[in-house]
Copies of this chain bind each other. A is one copy, B any other.
Amino acid sequence: MLSFQNDYQEGAHEKILARLIETNLEPLSGYGSDLYCESAKKKIQTACDCPEADVWFLTGGTQTNQTIIDTMLEPYEGVVSAETGHVASHEAGAIEYSGHKVLTIPQHEGKIDAAELETFLRKFWEDGNHEHMVFPGMVYISHPTEYGTLYTKVELENLSAICDAYQIPLFLDGARLGYGLAASDTDVTLPDIARCCHVFYIGGTKVGALCGEAVVFTRHNTPKHFLTRIKQHGALLAKGRLIGIQFDTLFTDNLYFEIGKHAIAMAELLKKGLADNDIPLYLNSPTNQQFLLLTDEQAERLKHDVVYSFWEKPDEDHTVIRLVTDWATTEAQVLELVQVICTCLKNS
């Protein structure tokens, strides 16, 4: 059975496992104060071309979003997000649980538009009743988005300028950042992100780690007593080494970028395979998540051969499915997948 369900279906990249074993018996201090965390932070600062960045390690995506948003916002503030933003729709209300509203604006293939954002912010401040409303206190974007799409450098710069003008942070959810950085046509680099965003995170869980996300505060803007607040959120790992060692490995010899490139190559192989067979994709995603529009019957039939993710139902008779490549995907698997899809579609 082929499995293209998601990018967290395997364990970890072999180099990470090897490093965990090598360091296993070294006694290290806890809670992220060990030397591997320190080393990883330095390497991330370098990769971001931001030597003054504050880097922190958390365990998973929703936890990271909740912790960053809750600690950077004032209690009277909410976070602005696309309607399809992960924080708006797929985190079980973790943001509201921490007391903050998600203020939604329209999405365009998962992205927000700078002009629409500016209008939203301007109208809030113009409204005579705004003291009775939730203050927009941060802008959340995901890159790649939930649809696999990417912002351009200019788009990021525009969003950043608006945030600066309104003196609120731009927060980039990089759960799949490795795949975004490795996309063929992107002009966005990690230093660009560090320059444009006030805070962002470099996803590990979906990019080859067992778990772990690296949060980067780029403007000396780490919330006060952040360690205490992480603990208060139940998010402080006793064996902080677990994440430190993983990120130290990911940022050694460009491993993080190599993982991204491999998954993108596999996604492009898939796209080419489908194109060669005149099978159109649902939207043009430049990253490792690809979306296919099937009839319900085709979607049902495909289940016999491939584990995929159900994405959404655009109408009564059709289903959009998601196929995801990652660091562990092989060329043989992709070629077989193309075969299986072709057979499935021809028979309908």
Contacts and interface: CB of A to CB of B under 8 A. Distances in A.
A67 B74 CA distance: 15
B11 A90 contact: no
Given A234-B67, A237-B211, A131 B20 contact: no
Given A59-B59, A75-B232, A205 B239 contact: yes
A30 interface: yes
A236 B62 contact: yes
A99 interface: yes
Contact of A234 (B11, B94, B96, B205): B94
B10 A24 contact: yes
Given A225-B135, A232-B75, A24 B9 contact: no
A27 interface: yes
A66 B307 CA distance: 35
Given A76-B232, A96-B96, A135-B225, 20 more contacts: A5-B27, A6-B30, A10-B25, A12-B20, A27-B307, A59-B237, A60-B236, A60-B237, A65-B234, A67-B234, A91-B132, A94-B233, A96-B134, A97-B232, A97-B233, A131-B228, A132-B228, A211-B238, A234-B234, A234-B235
B211 A242 contact: yes
Interface of A: 3, 5-6, 8-12, 14, 17, 20-21, 23-30, 59-67, 70-71, 74-76, 78, 89-94, 96-97, 99-102, 128-129, 131-135, 205-206, 210-211, 224-225, 227-229, 231-239, 241-242, 307, 310, 328
17 contacts: A8-B30, A8-B238, A9-B28, A11-B21, A12-B20, A17-B24, A60-B236, A75-B229, A76-B224, A91-B132, A92-B131, A93-B99, A93-B100, A93-B101, A93-B232, A96-B134, A135-B225
Contacts of A27: 3, 5, 9-10, 307
A231 B96 contact: no
A25 B8 contact: no
Given A78-B96, A96-B78, A97-B232, A90 B239 contact: no
B231 A91 contact: yes
A6 B75 CA distance: 29
Contact of A225 (B11, B21, B76, B101): B76
Contact of A233 (B8, B101, B234): B234
Contact of A128 (B28, B232, B310): B310
A140 to B, nearest CB: 15
Contact of A99 (B30, B96, B231, B234): B96
Contacts of A9: 27-30
A90 B8 CA distance: 33
Of residues A12, A133, A232, which shows the largest number of chain B Cβ atoms within 10 Å of its Cβ?
A232
A132 to B, nearest CB: 5
Contacts of A64: 234
